[in-house]
Amino acid sequence: VHILPYSYSVSWGNYTQVEYVLYLMRYIRDTGPFDWYSIHSGNDLMIRSYRELEALLNDSKKYAFLDCHRLPWKDWQYGGGLGRIALIWPDCMRKRLKPHSVLRYARAIYGRMYGAKLIRGRTLPQDIIFYGKSAWYTLSSECVSDVLSYVDAHPDFLGLFEKSLC
């Protein structure tokens, strides 16, 4: 168990999720070495033994285990998910909202206006292919190294997500 030297106030749907995951990746990399990095929610429970997971990961030649789709994805609202990145989302909309909250309806209308091309968001870089779906995954140390190398070499990339609906 490690008590981290720095803590974040992480909010649902906010850039703080991205910041904290990158912080965790760097901290664990610098504490390591480790073969795999795994991020889960507090609700995730192991349904198999840790030994089975360890065997699966050790026998695997995979780069990463994650569930994602190339954007735009037909099953996602807000322009297939691209509106989550392209739009500047107000602070009040970048948080978990109750089911019948007025702000939740406003967020839905705002995002759907983008999807219907009634409003325009930021122009997204054409040389980046965006993916989205789950925030929970297991990455190889090689994958984590590549992620951190990319964000270090392209500081403007992270700026795309600062006011996005993560």
Per-residue pLDDT, 81:
95
Q: What dihedral do alpha carbons 106, 112, 117, 122 form, nearest 10°?
A: 70
Q: Which residue reads 């325009």 in tokens?
A: 120
pLDDT band (50, 70, 90) for residue 12: confident
Query: For 28-77, what is each residue's pLDDT tens digit?
Result: 999 988 999 988 877 777 888 989 988 999 898 899 999 999 999 999 99
Q: Which of 63, 79, 61, 89 is nearest to 130 (CA)?
A: 79
Burial class (CB in 10 A: 0-12, 13-18, 19+), 147: middle
The amino acid occupying position 133 is K
Query: For 106-138, what is each residue's pLDDT tens digit?
Result: 999 999 999 999 999 999 999 999 999 988 899
E strands, the chain, are 36-39, 64-65, 68-70, 131-133, 137-140
Element (H, E) at 22: helix 16-31
Record the pTM.
0.86
The more confidently predicted of residues 27 and 42 is: 27
- CA–CA distance, 97 with 92 (Å, rounded to integer): 9
